[in-house]
Amino acid sequence: MRIQVRRSQKQLIAQNIDMRRLVAILILCASVTAIMASGHGQGSQQSQAQPQAQPSPSPRPAIAQVPPEEAARELNNPRSKWFREAKFGLFIHWGLYAIPAGTWKDKQIPGLGEWIMNRAKIPVKEYELLAKEFNPVKFNADEWAQFAQDAGVKYLTITSKHHDGFAMFRSMVSGYNVENGTPFKRDVIKELAAACAKHGIRFCVYYSQAQDWHEPNGAGNTWDFGPDDKKDFDQYLRDKAVPQVRELLTQYGPIGLIWFDTPRLMNEARASQFTNLVRELQPDTLLNGRLGGKGDYRSTGDNRIPNEVVPGVWEVPATINDTWGFKSYDHNWKSVEDITFKLVDIVSKGGNYLLNVGPTSEGVIPEESVVRLRAVGAWLKPNGQSIYGTSPTAFGAELKGKDWRCTTKPGKYFIHLFQWPNGTFELDGVKSKIKKSYLLVDSKNKLKVNQSGDKVSITLPARAPDKVDSVLVLEY
Ligand code: JFZ
């Protein structure tokens, strides 16, 4: 990767670019070098350790930048068009871990809810028994898809198999699955895929390709099966992971993307088994960046939002409290204001927001999540044109503060005002002549525009039309 950066730098110098871009590239070179040296790149040992829901205070960047030509390739990939325009997705972590919900044998287990088997070192023989209890009678795929629609997300990514190895779909490969191994006897993935199709939501699946704590040769379970380097990992890939991914790609209609994760023990050859399968069976399905090979887009570290615009196609996977899988005592819900700000902030930097909910063992999405996401959806209804299909900010100075953000479409700046200015909104560095300005929710009322050179001043009404984010449109 370093070599590619150097080459691109030379090319750009040859093209006589200005000093500012050169400085930016040098910083990029330095940060790529730093990431490689510190072993913090995606797929490194570090990212495979027990993950934290909270960002670490280390100065490591939220996302590993790629050379400009690589970012351009991501952006020009026709396969990712829907994803680039979607901007907002719903992540669902749901599995057997919803039953203990963070507590094992009367002890609250620290860490992420879906990691309880690992954190409490629960033997397979004990954890497996949860399947016999799994009976989420309140699960209603249609309600979940309706909820996704109300929240304004364009895609939904659900854990079809997390690290615990339990498949939430009917599988011929392993009886450890929701249809054959539980009293529930229903295929969750099938019902949800159908409901999403009905509600116009792209259906996507998470699949833990490397860690599988249920299998002697899967990565991660050292308490039952000993160290990973003694395992026949290829046997696990051949006999479980690859055939299950084949099932996912053939049993449920179109899959928008597959979200692979924590690529322990993965390498190019192992990753290509999945890549080839996906390209063969569903050439339109996107691959995320945590397979262990090249993906169609990249993820930031969990809950990490970059400070600047990041070129390319990328996504921020994020929790709505501090866990992915349901924990009965995690009440640290992010507010509607915070979620809306994060959505706009991420979109203004060029990314997607993949926000998670963790349903209970009864099949209910916690009411606290529902209320918040519905409120975001209610904001998106009249303001969605300033989010979906937009491009990043045309400015950048605003990213240092939290007062406002900018998203763009050809001929339009959308200014998201999180702080309502007194009287006028002043904007610097405007390169085009502003023709008109109005509030997105009140487009009939034209606002007074004063422009002198690259400075623009818009006269605003006394009150903000929205208490979280009022969108001001500037057309040029
Ligand atoms: C992984 C999982 O281990 C976790 O349970 C959850 O599913 C989450 C979405 O993904 O955790 C990670 C993986 C990678 C990073 C952080 C947490 N990373 O690269 O920063």
Residue 301 CA, closest ligand 1 atom number: 20
Residue 91 CA, closest ligand 1 atom number: 9
Amino acid at 454: D
pLDDT band per the 50, 70, 90 thresholds, residue 35: very low
Decide if pLDDT at 41 tops 90. Answer: no
Average pLDDT score over residue span 239-265? 98
% helix / strand / coil in the chain, to the nearest 5? 35, 20, 45
The distance of Cα 407 from the centroid of its chain, to the nearest Å, equals 19
The distance of Cα 159 from the centroid of its chain, to the nearest Å, equals 13
Q: Ligand 1 pocket test: pick from 96, 205, 324 the residue with the most ligand atoms within 8 Å of its Cβ.
A: 324
Q: From ligand 1's centre to the CA of 262, what distance in Å?
A: 6
Task: Look up the pTM and report it.
Answer: 0.89
Decide if pLDDT at 44 tops 70. Answer: no
Q: From ligand 1's centre to the CA of 471, what distance in Å?
A: 33
> Which protein residue has the closest C-alpha to ligand 1 atom 11?
51
Q: Is 298 helix (H, G, I), strand (E, B) or coil?
A: strand
Q: From ligand 1's centre to the CA of 96, what distance in Å?
A: 18
pLDDT tens figures, 78-131: 999 999 999 999 999 999 999 999 999 999 999 999 999 999 999 999 999 999
> Which protein residue has the closest C-alpha to ligand 1 atom 18?
301
Say what the pLDDT of residue 55 is. Answer: 55
Neighbouring CB atoms inside 10 A of 200's CB total 10
Average pLDDT score over residue span 9-26? 39
Q: From ligand 1's centre to the CA of 60, what distance in Å?
A: 16
Query: Distance between CA atoms of 266 and 208, rounded to whole angstroms?
Result: 12
Q: 239 near 173, Cβ under 8 Å?
A: yes
Site residues for ligand 1, CB cut-off 6 Å:
42, 47, 51, 112, 114-115, 261-262, 301-302, 317, 324
Q: From ligand 1's centre to the CA of 423, what distance in Å?
A: 45
* 31-35, 54-58, 261-265, 347-351, range with the lowest pLDDT: 31-35
Q: Which residue has the higher pLDDT, 53 or 192?
A: 192
pLDDT tens figures, 382-427: 999 999 999 999 999 999 999 999 999 999 999 999 999 999 999 9
Q: From ligand 1's centre to the CA of 50, what distance in Å?
A: 8
Say what the pLDDT of residue 53 is. Answer: 55
Q: What percent of the chain has pLDDT over 70?
A: 88
Q: Give helix then strand counts, H and E, for the chain.
A: 16, 18
Token code pair at residue 265? 């023990």
Q: Which of 73, 75, 62, 6 is nearest to 35 (CA)?
A: 62
Token code pair at residue 263? 């690529």
pLDDT tens figures, 450-466: 999 999 999 999 999 99
Amino acid at 8: S
Q: Strands 442-446, 257-259: parallel, antiparallel or unpaired by DSSP?
A: unpaired
Q: Ligand 1 pocket test: pick from 58, 90, 262, 326 the residue with the most ligand atoms within 8 Å of its Cβ.
A: 262
- Looking at residue 267, the DSSP 8-state letter turns out to be -
Q: From ligand 1's centre to the CA of 198, what distance in Å?
A: 30
Q: Write phi, then psi, for 300 (nearest 5 degrees).
A: -80, 175
Q: From ligand 1's centre to the CA of 71, what distance in Å?
A: 23
pLDDT tens figures, 163-193: 999 999 999 999 999 999 999 999 999 999 9
For 55, 87, 107, the CA distances from 58, given in Å and listed in that order, are 8, 27, 31
pLDDT band per the 50, 70, 90 thresholds, residue 57: low
Q: Which of 383, 385, 323 is nearest to 359 (CA)?
A: 323
- Mean pLDDT value across the chain: 90
Token code pair at residue 281? 């069976």
Query: Distance between CA atoms of 325 and 177, rounded to whole angstroms?
Result: 18
